[in-house]
Amino acid sequence: MAQFDWQTYQVVRDQFQRAAQEMAGSIVGHKDAMLEHALSNRRFESPMEAVFAIWWTFSTGLVFREPKYALRAIEQREVTAGKELFRVDFQVVPRDPLMLVAGIRLGCPMKIAVELDGHDFHERTKEQVMHRNHRDRRLQADGWVVMHMSGSELLKRPIPCVLEVIQVAAGALTRIREAVGREWSASLTYEAMNAS
């Protein structure tokens, strides 16, 4: 996996500064440190992945204070579909790992992948496009939601792009919580019936 120093890419530095300026009016505290943390010790393969991480972090500072948005985006995640293993740019999961396990156990797993498309790093050849299409079909057949964004779209509309992902993931997390609530309620009713 090719990694890069995000500071060598002007586009990433520009987006970092843009997010820091946006945060200035919204977040009190160490906004630069918060954004720096979004990029440090991470495994990005392209500048657009770093840009997505910046704006994801920006959004977590504004939106994720509500429990229904308790999500995280894990970069370069290996996931399975059937018997095939694929790597996605980001997998969105609940912050609480127990919610991820509960979703799987209760039949409503959170399977959300974010793919950042672009010719510079991802789709240089026909073979890469064929691999992407094969991966997407396999993932979708296995119940994954695969959300694609182009680099130009992310640069022009970073907040709406990230908020689209958040909305889809928040809906999946709500379904998991509802399933947990039904399971918990059923367990309490069963125990009460057996206690009498």
Q: What is the pLDDT of residues 130-183, one digit of tens each?
A: 988 999 999 999 999 999 999 999 999 999 999 999 999 999 999 999 999 888
Q: Cβ-count burial of 13 within 10 angstroms (0-12 exposed, 13-18 middle, 19+ buried)?
A: middle
User: CB under 8 Å to 72, separation ≥6 — which residues?
Assistant: 92, 93, 94, 95
Statement: the pTM of the whole predicted model exceeds 0.85? no
92 closest CA partner among 131, 125, 59, 129: 59
- Tell me the three state secondary structure of residue 108: coil
Residue 104 lies in a domain: yes
Q: Residue 32's pLDDT is what?
A: 62
Q: Residue 1's pLDDT is what?
A: 46
Q: Residue 39's pLDDT is what?
A: 77
Listed as ranges, residues in the chain with pLDDT below 70 are 1-7, 24-35, 61-69, 118-124, 186-196
Domain count, the chain: 1
Residue 1 lies in a domain: no
For residue 173, what are its two tokens?
């997390």
Residue 142 lies in a domain: yes
Residue 122 lies in a domain: yes
Q: Residue 42's pLDDT is what?
A: 81
Range(s) of the domain holding residue 41:
6-195
Q: Residue 29's pLDDT is what?
A: 54
Instruction: Answer yes or no: are the C-beta atoms of 112 and 172 closer than 8 Å.
Output: yes
Residue 83 lies in a domain: yes
Residue 26 lies in a domain: yes
Residue 63 lies in a domain: yes
Q: How far is it, in rounded angstroms, from Cα 30 to Cα 36?
A: 10
Q: How far is it, in rounded angstroms, from Cα 56 to Cα 43?
A: 15
